[in-house]
Amino acid sequence: MKKILLVLIFLCFSLTTYALNTDSWEKKVEKNYFERINIFIESIKENQLRLKIVNRRLEALWEKINHIYTQEAKKVKEMISHFQEKLGKEIEEPGTFHLDTPEAVKSLYYTSFAWGSSTRINTLLNFVENSEINSVTIDIKEVDGYVAFDMSGYEFSTIQPKSNNRIKDVRTLIENLHEKGIYVIGRITVFKDKLLAETRPDLAIKWSDGKNVWYDYKWNKYLDPYSKEVWDYTVEISKAAYDLWFDEINFDYVRFPSDGAISNTYYPFSKEIESENKKWGKIMVLDKFSSYISSQLKSEYPNIVLSADIFGLVTRSDLFRIGQNLESFLLSFDYIWPMVYPSHYWVGTLGYQVPDNYPYAIIQNALYHSNKRIDALNVQIQEAQENNEKLRIKDAFFADKDISDIDSIPKTRIRPWLQWFSCTWCKGYTPYNREKFREQIRAVEGAWLTSWWVWNSGSRYYLDWYNNE
């Protein structure tokens, strides 16, 4: 990539010296410079993404000098045109800037705050060069409802997202990560959204009086999961993020609230379906949402990669309170990320008084159950296809997803979130260390899985906890 940078630096330097006379320009540009450009393109033409990034940067440079009409600027334009003509012959799919999904995704979570720190960015690059890490997860929209970068250039039907501008130039950021071969995942929190709940209270979950916006014990506010307008808002943010070159779009908080006075909630849009089926209503709502958002995005972007987070407990049993069912999510998303943090399990799980101290056993058990459920789901899919029937979820309701062309679901569709924090609020906990962290990975590998994410809310990680490649 040093050659790319040298060429671009040369072109940018040329722009700054456009006022020089033609003779001085000729001295700086050797007669064989165009030949050197051809050699450079030939050396990287197998790497489509790098070719596209160079082309995009040349387009940006052209826009900057297009209004300059000096002889020197003309020569820069001629050089850019020559460069782009050669690039155009080598680029297979103009306009696509996405890395292929690695067979094994090993990702760190980075907050939008962390991207303001050059130290944190250098730490990530060091991880990629010296460990098994090959991916990073970046916040697109967090629970406060703000997006992390400007989206004003994109069209939104009814809701225009507001940005806190924590990431100033997300496209250049992703370009730089792609040049290092880093797979970039964008995280969108869906129904936990304080900003939109306050600015559009008609879309929010209400107290049982049907008037005031409901909030949980920590004053978090949620959108009504059955609001079609909220669904479309999520789709539109996802499209903008994919156009900004995120390789994968991840959805978090695809669920109903879990804490607070749940019995005193009112759902303006989903009440009808909940009243039809008290037990399964929430799961049915999220099943319809998952199917809708997947079909909407893949109809426009067939190659888009979509994933969703679920509670780790969902690998073992359905969580009716929050509406999460593993089978439903597996049908609609390319990957499922269960949050199997040992700290999330209750006292007495598997006989352990402090589950947080037994990461291998907790995660191994969770993945054992998810593997079993995938096997059973594949049998159901095959039987339903053979009988030309819709798929029933737990014999309770028909899945919204059309399964006529669904292949057998691989177990590798499960990618667990791993814990990188000490559960100081867990009675009897011991601090997390490298041994506990590696125990989590050993449990993942023991389930014949290869991908995992690591969560730390402060985006602080230690290189020596990872294995060197």
Q: What is the pLDDT of residue 81?
A: 78
Write the DSSP assignment of 158-177 as a string of letters. S-PPPB---SS-HHHHHHHH
**Cα R_g (the chain), whole angstroms:** 25
Average pLDDT, consecutive stretches of 10 residues, N- to C-terminus, the chain (469 residues): 46 43 45 63 63 70 76 76 70 72 94 85 89 94 94 89 92 88 96 96 94 93 95 96 94 94 88 70 94 96 96 94 95 97 91 93 97 97 94 92 91 95 89 94 95 91 81
Whole-number Å distance between alpha carbons of 336 and 250: 9
**Domain 106-465 -> CATH class:** alpha beta
- What average pLDDT does the structure give for the chain? 86
Which among 243, 249, 255, 252 has a CA at the least distance from the CA of 283? 255
pLDDT recorded at residue 82: 72
Residue ranges covered by each domain of the chain: 2-90, 106-465
Give the Cα separation of 359 and 434 in Å (integer): 12
**Contact criterion met (CB below 8 Å) for 337 and 330:** no
Compute the 3-state secondary structure of the chain and give helix, strand, coil in percent, each to the nearest 5: 45, 15, 40
pTM of the entire predicted model: 0.83
**Which of 414, 417, 440 shows the shortest CA–CA distance to 356?**
440
- Predicted confidence at residue 186, as pLDDT, reads 96
- pLDDT tens digits for 9-20? 445 444 444 433
Render pLDDT for 170-202 as a digit per residue (tens, 0 to 9).
Answer: 988 898 899 889 999 999 999 999 999 999 999
pLDDT of residue 17: 44
Query: Quick one: pLDDT at residue 61?
Result: 75
Q: CB atoms < 10 A from the CB of 36, how many?
A: 12
Taking alpha carbons only, the member of 432, 433, 384 closest to residue 406 is 384
Residue pLDDT, tens place only, 343-363: 999 998 999 999 999 999 999
Spatial separation of the C-alpha atoms in residues 425 and 148, rounded to whole Å: 30
